[in-house]
Amino acid sequence: MTMNIDFTKMNGLIPAIVQDALSGKVLMQGYMNEEALAKTQDTGMVTFFSRSKERLWTKGETSGNFLEAVSIAGDCDGDSILIKANPKGPVCHTGADTCWNEVNSSKTVFIDQLRAIIKDRKNNPSDQSYTASLFAKGINKIAQKVGEEAVEIVIEAKDDNKELFLGEAADLLFHYLVLLEAKGYELDEVMEVLIQRHQK
Ligand SMILES: [Zn+2]
């Protein structure tokens, strides 16, 4: 990975901001020297230079709450680092999800990743992909599938089985997103309709 980080600018230590790769929540901030950055890249576990310990410190080395690095980027003028990571547990030593005592639990943002995956299956189809096979069958089949999933969630709604209901809810949402992609529309366009209605 090439990055234009200028470690000479600030006495060898650069602030590194860690953001949850999924939720986008800012989790913590630490400092990295060149060695800490290299170790983070090599091991995939976020490693800082601890100014109090005066040594490299891999976040989670004692607590087990590691930060799995997903991406690392330098900023526009090379004097700060943004790391997107998957936290393996609470991030702060206080036990809080973030060092700003915030809750980091929203999984609804996964919908954007899921949409990106669906788009990729459409543009780069493979034989093993169920989603790609849906696109290959065409809009009629996809629309029919949404109808079937809608009927299935109706059936489960009348019953009282949480697992089955959530399974059908997931199926419907997934196929709904596939239908939107097949029609060439963005979820944002649906949101726009809802926002407009809400404003009335
Ligand atoms: Zn903290």
Instruction: State pLDDT tens for residues 63-108.
Output: 999 999 999 999 998 899 999 999 999 999 999 999 999 999 777 8
For 19-34, the pLDDT digits (tens) are 999 889 999 999 999 9
Distance 187 CA to ligand 1 centre (A): 36
Could you tell me if 46 and 85 are in contact, meaning their C-beta atoms sit under 8 angstroms apart? yes
Q: Please, what is the angle between helix 187-199 and helix 162-183, to 10°? A: 100
User: From the CB of residue 68, how many other CB atoms can be counted at a distance below 10 Å?
Assistant: 15
User: From the CB of residue 25, how many other CB atoms can be counted at a distance below 10 Å?
Assistant: 20
> Can you give the pLDDT at residue 175?
98
Distance 101 CA to ligand 1 centre (A): 8
Long-range CB contacts for residues 171-177, cutoff 8 Å, separation at least 24: 172/146, 173/111, 174/114, 175/134, 175/142, 175/145, 175/146, 175/149, 176/146, 177/111, 177/114, 177/115, 177/118
Distance 99 CA to ligand 1 centre (A): 4
Distance 8 CA to ligand 1 centre (A): 27
Distance 33 CA to ligand 1 centre (A): 20
Distance 35 CA to ligand 1 centre (A): 22
In whole angstroms, give the CA distance from residue 3 to residue 80: 11
